[in-house]
Structure formats: structure tokens, C-alpha cells
Amino acid sequence: MVSSQNIGNNSASLFFIFIRYFFMLDPHLFRNELDFVTVQLKKRHFAFNPENYSELEARRKLVQTKTQELQNARNSSSKTIGQAKAKGEDVQGLLDQVAHLGEELKTAETELIVIQSELDALMAGIPNLLDLSVPEGKDENENVEVSRWGSAPQFDFDVKDHVDLGTARHLLDFELGAKITGSRFVVLNGQLARLQRALIQFMLDTHSSENGYQETYVPYLVNTDSLRGTGQLPKFEADLFKASENPALYLIPTAEVPVTNIVRDVILDEKILPLKFVCHSPCFRSEAGAYGRDVRGMIRQHQFEKVEIVQITKPDDSAKAHEELTLHAEMILQKLKLPYRKMLLCAGDTGFSSSKTYDLEVWLPGQNAYREISSCSNFRDFQARRLQARWRNPQTGKPELVHTLNGSGLAAGRTLIAVMENYQDAQGRIHIPEVLLPYMGGLTIIE
């Protein structure tokens, strides 16, 4: 916590840093449209106490005004002293007059910082406001199916899941992953490892050549500023692997973090928007809250490969970009001829930072179920505010927040599972999807 001893003249700048990093939603909205915000948060089943907020905010205003008055007094008397000194006058009298100011100012500044951190803590826990089209609902059971593509393949033999298919031919080795590292790690062998690489290549090529995304290669370790920018910190540290203490560095949970942070602290020219990036990376998740879920197989691993697509748009364009970006992810599934359904997440299942999310769920014959393979979200200005990612609006001449969006295009590990299970035959072999043939060096079946 902040002690009064290290509060100096620069303490006011701390105040602005807090605003910069922890205000996820527009503070003006809370000051001017508190009722609206309260209703919106209720839809998320988020308990927000407007009275508590109003009281804090009133105190903040009072103390901030007082602090600024004292700063004004100090500044103007210092100026007077400077002028008097320049004329060679005796300034002792003036110095005596301001002797008490320093103490008073320090007290006020300290108080301001305390109030501000309370306000910040409150604001930091508040999720993004939902898009009006997001349906009511408390959990994943109330998500709405938007569309369905393809039909589940019919097999005239007993289908195997990817674990049986993979371990039988020693393509997947969970024991080896456990030996080398621990549970929820896996080793892929031979042609299956190649198939995953083919999937990644195929996705990168499709998004960069056909969908207009710029391919990027980024660091897999990120600092705390970057994680704050996209919203993983301070709230979700438990989901991350920390790789170094000093400096504090974390393994990325998704390429979204480094890629979206490309625009942190940048004022973008209108002409280059929208920015579209595609990036393959490994992803590292401690999955702290998921013990006991999907323990069998490689559905839920601590390390997996993913191709991420990211868009940075003007505010007016983000809704359309969200539809487009989701279609780009769907396109991969369609080209692979993998049956899937598109779900609009309900209020209770939409992630903390997102205003609207579509999940794509691929058909897994081995589980006889649809499972998430992509999540496409519009964050609107929620991340941009923390990132200070802006564009200069020619209409106003002012820098304004951009909108950020991203989606998995797709999670390669889970896509590999889907290919294995949907393309299996009676002998337990895996046929190579047509679009991947150019990447497999002539191989058509993994035997």
C-alpha cells in the first residue's frame, strides 16, 4: 500500500497512472449514466452498489478540488518568490507565508491517493457492458445456437476418440508428457505432429492470403503492462504461468496479449484502420479453476498451439468486424469439412472483458458432442482504454479509443482432435483432409 512517506510532489501523477491502468469502463459513464450502468451490470448478474460508488466519487471530487487549490497556491507563491528574487528583494517574508503549505498539500495528496485506490479497486472488478443483442442467461446452458454447419459423419463401426486413435499407433503419448513435465502435457509423434503443423500452416496461409490479415511473430513472454492492457491482470493471475520474478514476465495464455499490445500507447492514423493480424503461438494456461474437467485426452492442456486473429477497428466498424472475424474462423472449419455450430454466449457466460462473444463448437464423434474450438469476441473500447490504444478521429481532430476484437482461428490442438475423430476409418487410421494434402508431402492417410 502507499505510505505517506513516499508521497512527494509527483504523487498526483500516480493518480493518473491509476486511471490509466485500472479504469476499464468509461468513468464518464459512471458519473453521468449511473442508472444505466447499474441496470446493464445486473444483466450480467454482477452485484454493483451504486450508492457505494457515488459516495466514493463525491469524496474524490471534494479532495481532488482541495488538492488542486493547494497546488495552485503553491505554484503561484513560488512564482512570486522567483520574481522577487530576480529583483533582488528580500524573500524571507514570502517564504514564511508558504511554510505551512507543504504539509497541508501532502496531507491532501495522500488522502486523494487513498480514495483513488479504493475507487480503482472497485472499478477494476467491473466487467464490460454487454451488447444489447446478448441474450439473458446465467451459464453455458442458456447460450443460443445461431447456426449449424455440416452434419455429423455416420460411421458403420465403433468410433474411437482421439486418445484411443492416437495412443494405439503411438502418435499421442500422455505418459511421456507427464514424465517430461507433468499432468496435462502431451507429446505428439511423427505424422500426427506433422498434421498439427500442417493445420497451423493452413490456417496462417488462409488468413493471410485470403482474409487480409498480416502475419506476425511475437514474444511468448510478456510483461505486466501488456497483461494489464488486455485484462488478464490484475484479476486473473492464477490462470497464468509466471516465468520470471524480476522483471515479472509471464508465458502468454494466448497470442491475443502480445498482438493486441502492438497498439498500446499508440495513436493510429484513420487510414490504416482496420488493422488485422494473424499470429500462431503456443499458449500456456495453468487452468487453475479447471481441475477435474476434461482430464482425459488433449482437450484441456497446459500448453497448446493456436492461431489467433485480431482486429483493431474504428468504433463504428466493430460490430460488422465481429461478424466478419467470426466468419473467418468458420471458414477454416468449412474448408476442413468439420461440422460445427455457432453459439451466441448468454450474459452469464460472456467473458469479463467481452461485450459480445460467439463460440464455435466443433463436432467430436469420440465425445458425441460439440466442443468449443474458437471464441470470437468484441471488446469494444474495454481493452483499448487500458491499452490507451487510440485513433485520431478526423471529425473531431481528437484521439479517441479504438475497438479491439479477436478470435481463435482456430485452436490447433483441438482442431487436430477434431480431424482425428472425424476422419477416422474402421482400421483406426486417420485420413488427411483435402485442404491439408499440400502440407503433408504426399501423405493421404496416417496409418
Amino acid making up residue 189: N
Shortest reach from residue 273's CB to RNA, in Å:
17
Look up residue 299 and give its three cell numbers: 482437450
Closer of 273 and 327 to RNA (Cβ): 273
Shortest reach from residue 396's CB to RNA, in Å:
9
Question: What's the rounded Cα separation, in Å, for the pair 365 and 436?
Answer: 20
Shortest reach from residue 72's CB to RNA, in Å:
4
- Work out which of 41, 44, 64, 187 binds RNA, going by CB under 7 A: 64
Question: What's the rounded Cα separation, in Å, for the pair 443 and 2?
Answer: 63
Closer of 26 and 215 to RNA (Cβ): 26
Is 178 among the residues that bind RNA (CB under 7 A)? no
Closer of 244 and 444 to RNA (Cβ): 244
Buried b (16+ CB within 10 A) or exposed e, 280-313: bbebbbbbeeeeeeeeebbbbbbbbbbbbbbbbb
Is 17 among the residues that bind RNA (CB under 7 A)? yes
Look up residue 204 and give its three cell numbers: 496462417
Is 399 among the residues that bind RNA (CB under 7 A)? yes
The window from 44-52, 99-107, 153-161, 184-192 that contacts RNA (CB under 7 A) reads: 99-107
According to DSSP, the residues that pair with 275 across neighbouring strands are: 312
Is 6 among the residues that bind RNA (CB under 7 A)? yes
Look up residue 211 and give its three cell numbers: 482474409
Q: Give the three-class secondary structure for 284.
A: strand
Buried b (16+ CB within 10 A) or exposed e, 190-218: ebbebbbbbbbbbbbebbbeebebeebeb
Shortest reach from residue 67's CB to RNA, in Å:
7
- Work out which of 12, 122, 331, 435 binds RNA, going by CB under 7 A: 12
The window from 97-105, 184-192, 294-302, 313-321 that contacts RNA (CB under 7 A) reads: 97-105
- Work out which of 1, 47, 86, 272 binds RNA, going by CB under 7 A: 86
Question: What's the rounded Cα separation, in Å, for the pair 191 and 447?
Answer: 9
- Work out which of 93, 182, 247, 441 binds RNA, going by CB under 7 A: 247
CB neighbours of residue 444 within 10 Å: 10
Look up residue 99 and give its three cell numbers: 511554510
Is 65 among the residues that bind RNA (CB under 7 A)? yes
Residue 426 CB partners (closer than 8 Å, separation 6+): 155, 156, 157
Look up residue 238 and give its three cell numbers: 492464477
- Work out which of 74, 235, 264, 337 binds RNA, going by CB under 7 A: 74
Closer of 13 and 147 to RNA (Cβ): 13
According to DSSP, the residues that pair with 284 across neighbouring strands are: 303
Is 83 among the residues that bind RNA (CB under 7 A)? yes
- Work out which of 39, 42, 49, 79 binds RNA, going by CB under 7 A: 79
Question: What's the rounded Cα separation, in Å, for the pair 89 and 360?
Answer: 77
The window from 26-34, 48-56, 210-218, 256-264 that contacts RNA (CB under 7 A) reads: 26-34
In the shown chain, the binding pattern of residues 259 to 278 toward RNA, with x for contact by CB under 7 A and - for none, equals --------x-----------
- Give residues in contact with RNA (CB under 7 A): 5-14, 16-17, 19, 27-28, 31, 61, 64-65, 68-69, 71-72, 74-79, 81-83, 85-86, 95, 98-99, 101-102, 247, 267, 398-399
